[in-house]
Amino acid sequence: MYFAIEGVIGVGKTTLARLLQPAFQAALLLEVFEENPFLSNFYGDRARYAFQTQMFFLLSRYHQQRRGVPAMLEQSEHLISDYTFEKDALFAAINLVGDELDMYYRIQEALAEKIPQPDLMVYLRASTPTLMERIARRDRAYERTMEWDYIDQLNQAYDRFFLNQPHAMPVLVIDANVLDYVRYVEDLQWVENRIRQALQLSPFQPELPMPRNHDQ
């Protein structure tokens, strides 16, 4: 069983994937975004470095998923990824324009046909203020110039894609604004149960109440 966790920058995808790994006894496929040599320059000058950054990500994600997913599923019954190949096009639609965007789509469509699809996509959804707060809290050097408008654009694009468009596999939407699965084990258990329920993967409880807002 293979499921992927998605959401905007800062929502907590990798953290959740790592926390869920022991419960599912799963292999982990984590995005290697730190290897993109254009990323820090991109956040300082998006217009100048958008095409190089996007094409590097596209090819990196393609090679990682094209090879990694089948190989990991041969070694493990379950696989968790902290991203999907589809996310790349969401970023491209915001970062690229004109001929560069047209060229990107031609390449992306050819590559997408060869990518194994997950059995479930888990969409972690959070407000732009929540995302900006989490980005500031983790304090990655190349994210310190991250613009509110950019994250808000991404947030709207993710919502349109995951909430309004048809998909070949189920999409489980999780409100990440009210969850703190790092500090509260009941939050992590609730998310795990929702995923097991969506995949019909035992053991799961048919009904678990949404964890309360811990700030209240």
Task: Determine, yes or no, domain membership for 73.
Answer: yes
> CA 72, CA 80: separation in Å to the nearest integer?
10
Question: Where do the DSSP E strands lie in the chain?
Answer: 2-6, 27-29, 79-81, 120-125, 171-175
Task: Determine, yes or no, domain membership for 206.
Answer: no
Q: State which residues form the domain around 41.
A: 2-199
pLDDT by position in tens, the chain (length 216) = 999 999 999 999 999 999 999 999 999 999 987 788 998 899 888 889 999 999 999 999 999 999 999 999 999 999 999 999 999 999 999 999 999 999 999 999 999 999 999 999 999 999 999 999 999 998 887 888 889 999 999 999 999 999 988 888 899 999 999 999 999 999 999 999 999 999 998 877 766 666 666 654
Task: Determine, yes or no, domain membership for 182.
Answer: yes
Task: Determine, yes or no, domain membership for 215.
Answer: no
> CA 164, CA 125: separation in Å to the nearest integer?
14
Task: Determine, yes or no, domain membership for 43.
Answer: yes
Task: Determine, yes or no, domain membership for 207.
Answer: no
- Domain tally, the chain: 1
Task: Determine, yes or no, domain membership for 159.
Answer: yes
The answer to whether the CB of 126 falls within 8 A of the CB of 177 is yes
What CATH number does the domain containing 191 carry?
A: 3.40.50.300
